Amino acid sequence: MDELGFTETSNRSVGQTQQSVVYRRAVAPVAGLAAGYLTRAVRRYFDPRFTVSFGGLEEPEDFAARAEAFARLVPVGVISPSQAARLLRLPVEVETPAYIMTRSGPVCVRDLASVK
The answer to whether 3 and 19 are in contact (CB under 8 A) is no
Q: Which of 58, 23, 54, 59 is nearest to 39 (CA)?
A: 54
The answer to whether 10 and 46 are in contact (CB under 8 A) is no
Alpha helix segments (H runs only) across 5-49: 12-22, 28-45
pLDDT in tens, the chain (116 residues): 445 555 555 555 566 666 667 777 777 788 889 999 999 999 999 999 999 988 776 666 678 888 999 999 998 889 999 999 999 889 999 898 888 888 888 888 888 777 66
Q: What is the pTM of this model?
A: 0.49
